[in-house]
């Protein structure tokens, strides 16, 4: 009877040990950044020309030993295939190249000894180790933290140097501040993180697809599987429209949307030519520009240019009968004389309704006396565009 009891006890203990192994708690959570804004020297990166943003933070906690943490990014097998489109120049003497293709990269920044300690930086592509290259490593930090970044740099094969230089052909570092940078092709990568069963089993044990047999994927926010966690949250974009072009803003903060409404006070005006003879200034209408925004602390600038619909490329009043000569005049926007088609800036616009007077002047009285009597008219067109 003792022999039987020993056998039963032995089996019971074995089952308990097996259950304890299977129930060991390795959990992770991913917190994507909200309202991502591009920066110089983002996060841990100290080189002055490094450009990019932190995308999110992975935090892994465990009550058991973890070996060889490895990140697998679904759909990203070659790496370095992320492109932003935005204004860039090589130095301060060059003109802005507004449609510059800017090569970017996803980098994982791990904290092997916990936050506040040193880092290990690795470019993401397929499957990559999160601790000191492809060596077999045991995780000593608990929690184990990994930040994901989008930057204009490679990792040079894995590095602990936070001062690495941008090396993807935008090392000049002249990105136009307060500008949008749009993805040429939106990225929709998902990732997962795995650990091996033993120290001797390196990161290479994880398959390109499917589940591992010599390791396990860590549940991230309760979800397990290849590519199960999006790198970027859809709500993180700060420029563009979902389903169309999307990207991030580069500046001190996310800009408030601004809309503009323009109109003339009087669409049709009648006046005597003598009111605008020589140096006389005849106000013909007011130009209104309404700024619609929630931000009351900023001033705005818009470009404005004036033309006419007669195709003459000069300001003139045209007769309403055929064969007659036109009467040239000068146009003033406020106190500023403007040439035909000249782009000028309407500055210091504030939230609400802004206005300036539009004047006609400079009509030659002697020439008018030689003109055929009749009605002379012109349609003045205002062209409003965004300032750089």
Q: Note the pLDDT tens digit of each residue in 224-239.
A: 888 889 999 888 887 7
Between CA 180 and CA 340 the distance in angstroms is 32
List the one residue out of 191, 192, 203 whose CA is nearest residue 139. 203
Mean pLDDT across the chain, nearest whole number?
84
Query: Which pLDDT score is estimated for 227?
Result: 82
**4, pLDDT greater than 50:** no
241 pLDDT tier (thresholds 50, 70, 90): low
Percent with pLDDT over 90 in the chain:
41
Predicted local distance difference test score (pLDDT) of residue 228: 85
> Model pTM?
0.61
Instruction: Please give the pLDDT value at position 306.
Output: 95
Q: Which of helix, strand or coil describes residue 237?
A: coil
With CA atoms as reference, report the closest residue to 145 among 25, 36, 31: 31
pLDDT tens track for 59-116? 999 888 999 999 988 776 555 678 999 999 888 888 899 999 999 999 999 999 988 8
Residue 8 in this model has a pLDDT that exceeds 50:
no
Record: fold of 259-386: Immunoglobulin-like (2.60.40)
151-178 burial, b at 16+ Cβ within 10 Å, e below that, comes to bbbbbeebbeebebebebebeebbbbee
- At residue 108's C-alpha, the angle toward residues 103 and 113, to 5°, is 150
Task: Measure the CA–CA gap between 171 and 152, rounded to whole angstroms.
Answer: 8
How far apart CA 235 and CA 34 sit, in angstroms, is 6
Percent of the chain with pLDDT over 70: 88
Q: Which of 31, 82, 194, 210 is nearest to 128 (CA)?
A: 194
Say if residue 12's pLDDT is above 70: no
Q: What is the pLDDT of residues 326-374, one digit of tens each?
A: 899 999 999 999 999 999 999 999 989 999 999 999 999 998 888 888 8
Instruction: Give residue 255's pLDDT band: very low, low, confident or very high (50, 70, 90).
Output: low
Q: What is the pLDDT of residue 156?
A: 66
pLDDT, one tens digit per residue, over 148-174 is: 999 998 876 788 999 888 888 777 678
Contacts of 76 (CB under 8 A, 6+ apart): 106, 124, 125, 126, 189
Closest CA to 86 of 191, 189, 175, 213: 175
Domain regions of the chain by residue span: 25-250, 259-386
Q: Quick check: 15 pLDDT over 70?
A: no
- Region 175-194: mean pLDDT is 88
Q: Where are the beta strands (DSSP E) in 112-201?
A: 120-123, 127-129, 144-151, 174-175, 179-183, 190-196
Q: Hey, what are 246's tokens?
A: 């999307």
């Amino acid at each position: 009877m003792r022999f039987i009891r020993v056998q039963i006890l032995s089996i019971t203990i074995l089952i308990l040990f097996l259950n304890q192994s299977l129930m060991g708690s390795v959990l992770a959570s991913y917190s994507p950044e909200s309202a991502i804004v591009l920066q110089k020297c983002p996060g841990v990166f100290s080189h002055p020309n490094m450009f990019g943003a932190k995308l999110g933070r992975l935090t892994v906690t465990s009550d058991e030993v973890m070996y060889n943490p490895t990140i697998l990014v679904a759909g990203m097998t070659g790496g370095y295939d992320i492109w932003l489109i935005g204004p860039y120049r090589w130095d301060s003497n060059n003109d802005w190249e507004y449609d510059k293709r800017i090569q970017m990269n996803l980098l994982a920044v791990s904290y092997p000894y916990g936050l506040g300690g040193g880092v290990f930086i690795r470019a993401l592509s397929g499957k990559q180790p999160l601790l000191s290259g492809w060596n077999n490593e045991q995780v000593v930090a608990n929690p184990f933290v990994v930040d994901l970044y989008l930057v204009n740099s490679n990792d040079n094969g894995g590095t602990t140097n936070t001062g690495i230089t941008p090396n993807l052909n935008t090392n000049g570092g002249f990105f136009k501040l307060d500008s949008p940078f749009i993805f040429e092709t939106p990225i929709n990568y998902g990732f997962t993180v795995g650990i091996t069963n033993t120290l001797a089993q390196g990161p290479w044990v994880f398959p390109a697809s499917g589940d591992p047999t010599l390791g396990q994927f860590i549940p991230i926010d309760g979800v397990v599987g290849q590519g199960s966690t999006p790198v970027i949250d859809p709500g993180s974009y700060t420029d563009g429209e979902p389903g169309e072009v999307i990207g991030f803003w580069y500046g001190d903060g996310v800009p408030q949307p601004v809309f503009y409404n323009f109109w003339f006070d009087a669409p049709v005006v009648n006046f005597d030519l003598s009111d605008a003879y020589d140096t006389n200034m005849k106000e013909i209408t007011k130009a209104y520009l309404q700024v619609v925004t929630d931000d009351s602390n900023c001033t705005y600038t818009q470009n404005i240019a004036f033309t006419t619909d007669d195709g003459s490329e000069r300001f003139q009043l045209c007769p309403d009968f055929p064969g007659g000569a036109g009467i040239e005049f000068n146009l003033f926007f406020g106190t500023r004389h403007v040439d035909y088609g000249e782009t000028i800036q309407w500055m210091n616009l504030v939230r609400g309704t802004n206005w300036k007077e539009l004047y006609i002047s400079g009509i030659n009285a002697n020439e008018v006396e030689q003109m055929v009597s009749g009605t002379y008219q012109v349609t003045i067109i205002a062209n409003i565009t965004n300032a750089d």
